Structure 1
């Protein structure tokens, strides 16, 4: 089944007419779900109501219900462990860490914690709505019902300007360096999760820096076996 991205101009989003075909499979057997389009896991709004196949709909609803709670629960657990570690003066055992974080990892599985479909829409800097990876037949139905809606095979543009990613990259890397130096020079044995935050912040900063590169700018091409055998 051929697939393509659909682009809805900003001025057409409010009055959008959506065909009753699942954007995931193209089948008429569907369920309507409010799919978040913010890009942030803990935000349920804004959302776009879309038809999904029953399996994807169940996972999307479960994700929408649970995702906003994952971050605050993880932060609370982190703070509790940090306080216990600081007050008791003893390093928390590996077994205790496993007992706490394994359930969180289990809930991250799509079959349990839910998952948004690959067709989750997003908005660009101009407010245009982009729905990726639609079956071509479904995309054609959208265009028939909504003149002005188009398709594209170009890479999805970044939702924010390059300066946004540059600022976040610099801030995250600076935070990683500052935290690492503070932990290394405070003269005490620190909570292991604090040390874990150093590479996490650094990697997040590098990831933000990579987002300054336009989508599709870097291409990795592989030659065929015959080309590789040629001197």
Structure 2
């Protein structure tokens, strides 16, 4: 399916105004792959695992629905798991305990990190994102499904435009400056404190510099990766 002239766009984002969320009519097509017999699952509107907040009941393919349900069961416990990982890693890196104690601590921290990463994959790419303006955005929805959403809900649009940054340019600029200042200050302290500091503290300096550089890049709006189309055509 195409939108007039130009190449076919396989997946687009659905943009839902805040005023349309309460009266939203959701087609019975999976937002993941267009399955016509989907399973309806409550998907959180936030990726915060401790307090995900409200959720939206969405149609998903069976495999994705199973992963989301598992995520909902395990997510509240993941914060505790992360704390245990931090404690185990600190036990390994910051103490002089025997290797028989530090070894299992390292193994436990690695297993915990792998489990945490696997849990984060429980939410699909189509998880709704709430913008600062209040609108919802469902990323990477099949074009045919997006057309159904837009056709049944006035004001809802389908677009291939990249999503805006979640924060303002000033926020990212100030954050980058703060990270850079922290890196410079930490390097100065480590170089002049007259003692042998732990290697992890020195590793933190380039990490802060990299984080500052990455944050600077976010001061620019995201560039489209392909041709931009909107549906309905001409919707502003």
TM-score (norm 1): 0.76
Note if 1:104 corresponds to 2:112: yes
2: CA distance, partners of 1:84 / 1:94: 5
- CA gap of 1:76–1:51, structure 2 versus 1, over 3 A, is same
Backbone CA RMSD of aligned residues:
3.3
1:57 Cα deviation after fit: 1.8
Q: Residues 65 and 213 of structure 1: is their aligned pair in 2 closer, same or farther, counting only changes over 3 Å? A: farther
Aligned partners of 2:117 and 2:99: how far apart in 1?
29
**Is the counterpart of residue 5 in structure 1 residue 13 in structure 2?**
yes
Superposed displacement of residue 22, structure 1:
0.9
Q: Cα gap change, 1:48/1:199 in structure 2, threshold over 3 Å: closer, same or farther?
A: farther
Shift of 1:23: 0.3
Name stretches of at least 5 consecutive residues in structure 1 with no aligned partner.
221-231
- How far did 1:18 drift? 1.2
Change (3 A) 1:36 1:167: farther
Partner of 1:21: 29
Structure 2 unmatched ranges of 5 or more: 2-9, 227-236
| Mapped partners of 2:199, 2:104: distance in 1 | 13
Q: Which residue does 2:6 correspond to in 1?
A: none
Q: Identify the residue that residue 31 of structure 1 maps to in structure 2.
A: 39
Corresponding position: 1:128 with 2:135: yes
Is residue 15–residue 135 contact of structure 2 (8 Å, CA) maintained in 1? yes
Cα distance in structure 1, aligned partners of 2:44 and 2:166: 15
Aligned-partner SS, 2:108: helix
The verdict on how the C-alpha distance between 1:137 and 1:89 changes in structure 2, with shifts beyond 3 A counting, is closer
Is 1:85–1:92's contact at 8 Å kept on the other side of the alignment? no
Q: Extract structure 1 runs of 4+ deviating beyond 6 A.
A: 89-94
